Structure 1
Amino acid sequence: MRALVLTTVRRMGGKSLRRLLTQRYHQSRYDGFASSASTRQSSKGVVLGFYEPASDDKGKSRQDAVHGTASFAKFDQQLDGLLTRTLTATGYHGGKLKRGKTRTLHNLDDTYSSAVLVSLGPAKAGLNHQENWDESRENVRIAASAAAVALRTVECVEADVDTCGDAEAMAEGALLKQYAYDELKDKKKRKSLLKLSPLSVNNDKRSDRERWERGVCLADGQNYARTLMETPSNLKLPRMLAERILEDLSKVDGVKVTVRDEKWVAEKAMGSFLAVSQGSVEPLRLLEITFNGEDKEGVDVALVGKGITFDTGGISIKPSANMDLMRGDMGGAACTAAAIKTAAQLKLPVNLLGVIPICENMPSGSATRPGDVVRSMSGKTIQIDNTDAEGRLILCDALWYAQEEFKPKYLIDLATLTGAIRVALGSSAAGCFTNDQKMWETMLEASVHTGDRVWRMPLFRQFAEQMTSSHLADLNNISNRTGGGACTAAGFLWEFIKKDQKWMHMDIAGVSENKDEVPYLGKGFSGRPTRTLVEFFKRISRISDSSTGSKTFTS
C-alpha cells in the first residue's frame, strides 16, 4: 500500500503534487499517506536538516538538487524521494526556505508521527568576520530552535534530532528555545520539555552523543542563570539567593560554597558594600564558590558577580516604569554561579573562584545619602553622589577581597552595571574592558565559538581620572563629566585592580534581556554570557611551559 501511494505521488503533475503536499501541512492526519501508524498514533517526531540552494550570479536560487544532511539523505532514500519532492514543491528553489524555515510531514511510518524538515541556511557558511561569530554554528542553533517550536506545534513529546554536523550547537538551540520560567504558574499552564535524542547516521555516533550531552549541559547552565534572574525578588532575598545557590551547587562534584554574613563583611572592612545594603532590612550575604578541576594550588580564574537582588536606586530612586525588571540586577551573580556550575559538570581542568556580593538597594531612613563618604576594603574612600550607581560599590570590595585572599591569575567581574552600555551596543554583545590583550583575544575567540558575542570597549586612563576627581574623598562613584558612562564605571573599578593583575570587566546590562534579537532565546532574561565564560575557561586550561612553568592560552 505504501509503495503504491508513493508511486502515485511520483506520477502526479507538479500542481497536483503541490496541492496534495499543501494539504499535508494543514491537516493532522492524511488518509492517503497514513501507514499503519494512523491506527496507533505515535507522539514521537524526527528532525532532519537541509541546506538552502546555492545562488547564481544574479542572486537567484539555482535549480540544483536538494542538498540535505546525511540523515536527511538516508530518510529520503527510504521514502523514495518524498522529502526532496516535498521541499521542491513548497518553495525550495523559490527562496522560501531560508535559515530556520520548516516543513512538517505526518504519519510517515510506525515510528514517527511527524517529520520536521528544517533549513540550515547556506551549506558553505563558516566564520563570519563581520558578525564575529561562526555562522554555521549559529545557523544550526537557529534551526534547532525552529524545529523545537514545530515539534511542539504538532504535539510531539519526544523526537530524534539530526545532529546536522554539530551536535553541541543543535542541543543548545533546542533546549535554550524551550526555556520558560513558569514554575509559579498553574500546572496546566506549564510547558513540559521535549525528550530529545541525537540522530546520527555516521560512524562516530559515540562522539556525536558526547557533543550532544555537552550542548545539553551548556544550555542547562544558561537556563539556570535565566531562572535565577527571573525569580521574583520577594523569593530571592539576599539570604534566599545565597541559600539557593548553596543548595544547587553543593550537589555538583568538586564545588564548595561558603556563605558569609554581615558580621564577617564588617570584619573585612568592606565599607563600600555595607553602604549599599544599609537601606534594606534584609541582611547582605557574600558567597565564595570554589571549583578545583586540577589538583594544584592557585586560582586560574576568579569571577566576581554583582548580586543586587532588587535595585530601587536607593535615595536616588529610579522611575517606576519597568522597575520590576530590577529583579534581574543580579545577572552577574547568576552567570557567575551558572558558569562555575557548568564548568564543574563538564569537569574542565581549571581552578575557579566565584565571589558574589549579594544585597538589596533600598531607600529608607537608614539608607546611604548622596554626598556620604565611605571607606572601601582597599582603604580608598568613596564619595557617593548617586546611590543608583551602587553596583560598582559592591564590586570594588569583592574585587579587592578576591585579589588579597586568592591572588588569581585572571580576574573577571561581570555586572548589569550601566544603561550606557545598552546605548552603546544594544543587545548585540557584552561590553568588555580589559588591561590584558591576550585575555581579550581568548574571550573573543570563546564568544565566536558560542555565538554569544563580546565587544572590546576602551579602558583609557582618562576615564579613571574622571572618577578620582572628588571634592570629599579619593574617588567619586559618578563621573565629573557627561558621556561615556560605561567607560567611567570601568575606570572606577580599575582603581581597585592591583598593578600586575590581569583583569576584565564585563558590562552585561545590554545582553541581560532578550526580546527577539537572538532567535533561539525566548523573551525574558537571557542568562548571557554564561556559555562564553565556560568556553573561556576551556580555552585557558593550564599547560606548563618546560622552562618557566608558566601557563599559556590554548584554543
Structure 2
Amino acid sequence: MLVVRKAAQTAARKHLCRPFSASQTHLQERKGLVLGVFEKEAEEGGLHLTQAAASFDQTLSGKLSELLKIAGPGLKKGKSRIFYGIHQDFPCVAVVGLGKDSEGICGAENWDTKKENIRQAVSAGCQVLQELEVNHVEVDDCGDAKSAAEGAVLGLFSYDQLKSKKKTRVTTQLHHGSADVDDWKKGLAYAEGQNLARFLMEAPANHITPTAFANTIEERVAPHAERVTVNKRSKAWIEEQQMGAFLSVARGSEEPPVFLELHYNGAPDRKQPPLMLVGKGVTFDSGGISLKPSQSMDAMRADMGGAATVCASIVTAAALKLPVNIIGLAPLCENMPSGKATKPGDVVTAKNGKTIQVDNTDAEGRLILADALCYGSTFNPRAIVNVATLTGAMDVALGSAATGVFTNSDWLWEQLHQASVVTGDRVWRMPLFQHYTKQVTDSQLADLNNIGKYSRSGGACTAAAFLREFVTAPHWAHLDIAGVMSNKDEVPYLRKGMSGRPTRTLVEFAARLAHSG
C-alpha cells in the first residue's frame, strides 16, 4: 500500500503541476484564484481551510481537500501549491499557506504576525499566477481583507515601464466568497500608495527630475482637486523665502529646484491644525563636490524617497477621504558637482537665520530639510513628521528591519509605533540626546556644522540633532529611511527594488490621527 500511495502522489503532482498549453491561454482561461489554508495547532496536525476556501471546496464536493492531502503533508506559510482544471471558472487555483490562525500581535517582533503572514502568502500566490500569465485574480480575504489586498497589489508591482518585455498585467478583486469589501478597498488604496512611492523611487533620475516629480504628483491628486491644493514653488520663490541651505544644495545642478507644497483639506473643520509631513526630495545625489564612490551611485535616484513616501501618503489620504488636514512639503533638487556647486567649508544661511558650515556636501539632505522645517513651523501644525533617506549610519544601525525614529514627543512616538504594528512596516525609536547636539553646534566658522564634530560616530543621531535645531513644534519626529529604501528579499511580499517604505505606516498614522479627534 505504501508503494501504491507514493506512486499515486507522484502521478498527482505531475498532473497538478502541468502548466497551460498554448491552446489554453485564451482570455477566458486566464483567470486565477488564490485561497488560503491555515496550519492546525501542533497537537492536531494537518491544515484547515479559510471560510472562503472551505466554501469553494464544498462546491467541489471536497475535491480541493482531497488534492491537498494527495499533494503531500503540510503547506508552510508563504508557500503555494497550484491546481489546474478543478473548477470551470478558475483554470488555475493557488492555495497558499497562512501559518497558524491563532497568531496575532507579537511583542518581540513589533508587528501583527497574522497580518504579515497573510500579506506574504497572498503575494506569493498572485506572483505564481502572474508567472503563468494569468491576467485576472480573485483573492480570498483569508480573514483580513485589508492585508490580503495589500499582499496582492504590493506583490504584483514591478517597474518595467522602460523594458520591451513586460510582466503580465494582473487585475485583482475580492473573491465572491469573502464579504469585507470595504477593508479590501482600503487595503488596495494603502498598497497603491506604496506602489506610487516605489514607482517614483525606481524611475531613472533623468525621468524623475524635480519638475517631473512635482508634475507627477499634481497629476495623481487631480481626481481629488476639490480637497487638495498643489503649489509648485519656483527658484525665485525659494530665494524670496531666504532658504539659503536648500539653495546651496541645488546650485550645482542645471535642473531648477522646486519646492512642492500640498494642502489636503479633509477635516470637516477646515481650521483644524494640520498634520505636517516633510520629505527629502533629492532626485539624484552624486554627493556634490564630496563625490560619492561610483559603485551603487545609480541607487541615489531614490534619494527622494522621503518626498516620494510623503506625497504618496497624501495622495492615499485623499483617495480614502480621511477626515484630517495634512500639509505636505517636498524640497526637490539634484545634488551635483559643478563650478557653481557648494564647496566643503562654505558657510550658508538657513531660513531661520542660523549659519551652517558645510564641511561635507554629501550631507545635503539635512540642509534642504532645515529650510523646509522652518517654513513648515509657520503653519502651527498639530505635529511635524519629516521623512528622509538621510544617513548610511541608519542602515548600519538597523538595516532594513525598521525605520529609525528620532522624536521630541512620547505621544507622537506612540502614534507612529502603533501604526507600524498594524502595517508590519516597523519603526524603532532612536536617541535624541544633547550629547549629539553638542557635536553639531561645535563649529569653527558658523552656528552649526553639517556633519558634526565626530563625523563617523553616531552619524544618524547627529543628523537628527542637526534637524532639531530648526524645529519649534512640541511634537516632531524625524524618520530616517535610508535602511529601508530598497528591498532584496527581506520583505517577502515586495519584489527586489525600491521599497516605497514606510508609506503605509504614514497613511495608517494619519488615519488614526483623523479618527482620534
TM range (shorter): over 0.9
Alignment-derived partner of residue 118 in structure 1: 96
The partner residue of 1:195 within 166, 171, 190 is: 171
Alignment-derived partner of residue 202 in structure 2: 230
Paired letter, 2:459: G
The partner residue of 1:166 within 135, 139, 144 is: 144
Structure 2 distance, partners of 1:464, 1:319, is: 29
Cα displacement string for residues 197-247 of structure 1 (whole angstroms, at most 9, x for unaligned residues): 212436xx2xx1111111111111100011111111111222222222222
2:294 maps to 1:320: yes
Alignment-derived partner of residue 31 in structure 2: 44
The partner residue of 2:236 within 250, 254, 263 is: 263
Paired letter, 1:276: V
Structure 2 distance, partners of 1:455, 1:40, is: 47
Verify the 8 A CA contact 1:299 1:353 in the aligned structure 2: no
Structure 2 distance, partners of 1:79, 1:38, is: 23
Alignment-derived partner of residue 13 in structure 2: 22
Verify the 8 A CA contact 2:130 2:168 in the aligned structure 1: no
2:149 maps to 1:175: no
SS at match of 2:267: coil
SS at match of 2:9: helix
2:307 maps to 1:340: no
Deviation at 1:39, TM superposition (A): 11
Per mean C-alpha deviation after superposition, the further-off stretch among 447-456 and 14-23 is 14-23
SS at match of 1:120: strand
Paired letter, 2:479: M
Alignment-derived partner of residue 78 in structure 2: 100
Alignment-derived partner of residue 460 in structure 1: 433
Per mean C-alpha deviation after superposition, the further-off stretch among 534-543 and 507-516 is 534-543
Structure 1 distance, partners of 2:7, 2:65, is: 16
Note closer, same or farther for the CA distance 1:476–1:29 as it changes in structure 2 (3 Å cut). Answer: closer
Verify the 8 A CA contact 2:189 2:320 in the aligned structure 1: yes
Verify the 8 A CA contact 1:170 1:215 in the aligned structure 2: yes
Q: How many residues align?
A: 510
Deviation at 1:63, TM superposition (A): 4.0
Alignment-derived partner of residue 414 in structure 1: 387
Alignment-derived partner of residue 440 in structure 1: 413
Note closer, same or farther for the CA distance 1:355–1:492 as it changes in structure 2 (3 Å cut). Answer: same
Paired letter, 1:292: N
Identity of aligned residues (%): 49
Structure 1 distance, partners of 2:173, 2:500, is: 24
Structure 1 distance, partners of 2:219, 2:82, is: 42
Note closer, same or farther for the CA distance 1:44–1:403 as it changes in structure 2 (3 Å cut). Answer: same
Cα RMSD of the aligned pairs, angstroms, is 1.9
Verify the 8 A CA contact 1:99 1:121 in the aligned structure 2: yes
Structure 2 distance, partners of 1:427, 1:176, is: 17
The partner residue of 2:70 within 86, 89, 103 is: 89
Cα displacement string for residues 79-137 of structure 1 (whole angstroms, at most 9, x for unaligned residues): 232222222223324xxx21011111111132111111111111211111111100000
The partner residue of 1:472 within 427, 442, 445 is: 445
Verify the 8 A CA contact 1:250 1:257 in the aligned structure 2: no
Deviation at 1:38, TM superposition (A): 11
Alignment-derived partner of residue 398 in structure 1: 372
Alignment-derived partner of residue 141 in structure 1: 119
SS at match of 1:258: strand
SS at match of 1:506: strand
Alignment-derived partner of residue 68 in structure 1: 49
Paired letter, 1:322: S
SS at match of 1:291: strand
Structure 1 distance, partners of 2:58, 2:214, is: 55
TM-score normalised by structure 1 residue count: 0.89
Verify the 8 A CA contact 2:450 2:466 in the aligned structure 1: yes
Deviation at 1:29, TM superposition (A): 6.9
Paired letter, 2:95: L
Verify the 8 A CA contact 1:250 1:256 in the aligned structure 2: no
The partner residue of 1:329 within 292, 299, 303 is: 303
Paired letter, 2:458: G
SS at match of 2:438: helix
Paired letter, 2:380: K
Cα displacement string for residues 514-549 of structure 1 (whole angstroms, at most 9, x for unaligned residues): 000000001110100000000000111165xxxxxx
Trace 1:252-331 onto structure 2 (pairs within 5 A).
252-253=224-225, 254-296=227-269, 297-331=271-305
Per mean C-alpha deviation after superposition, the further-off stretch among 114-123 and 291-300 is 291-300
Cα displacement string for residues 153-182 of structure 1 (whole angstroms, at most 9, x for unaligned residues): 333221221111111111111111111111
Deviation at 1:501, TM superposition (A): 2.7
Note closer, same or farther for the CA distance 1:488–1:154 as it changes in structure 2 (3 Å cut). Answer: same
Alignment-derived partner of residue 369 in structure 1: 343
Paired letter, 2:6: K
Structure 2 distance, partners of 1:483, 1:51, is: 47
Structure 1 distance, partners of 2:123, 2:25, is: 28
Structure 2 distance, partners of 1:158, 1:212, is: 16
Deviation at 1:436, TM superposition (A): 0.5
SS at match of 1:107: strand
TM-score normalised by structure 2 residue count: 0.95
Verify the 8 A CA contact 1:314 1:387 in the aligned structure 2: yes
Paired letter, 2:64: L
Paired letter, 2:359: D
The partner residue of 1:487 within 457, 461, 467 is: 461
Verify the 8 A CA contact 1:141 1:174 in the aligned structure 2: yes
SS at match of 2:264: strand
Per mean C-alpha deviation after superposition, the further-off stretch among 349-358 and 277-286 is 277-286
Trace 1:460-539 onto structure 2 (pairs within 5 A).
460-481=433-454, 482-498=456-472, 500-539=473-512
The partner residue of 1:216 within 188, 191, 195 is: 188
Alignment-derived partner of residue 400 in structure 2: 427
Structure 2 distance, partners of 1:217, 1:282, is: 32
Note closer, same or farther for the CA distance 1:29–1:180 as it changes in structure 2 (3 Å cut). Answer: closer
Per mean C-alpha deviation after superposition, the further-off stretch among 419-428 and 154-163 is 154-163
Structure 1 distance, partners of 2:366, 2:27, is: 61
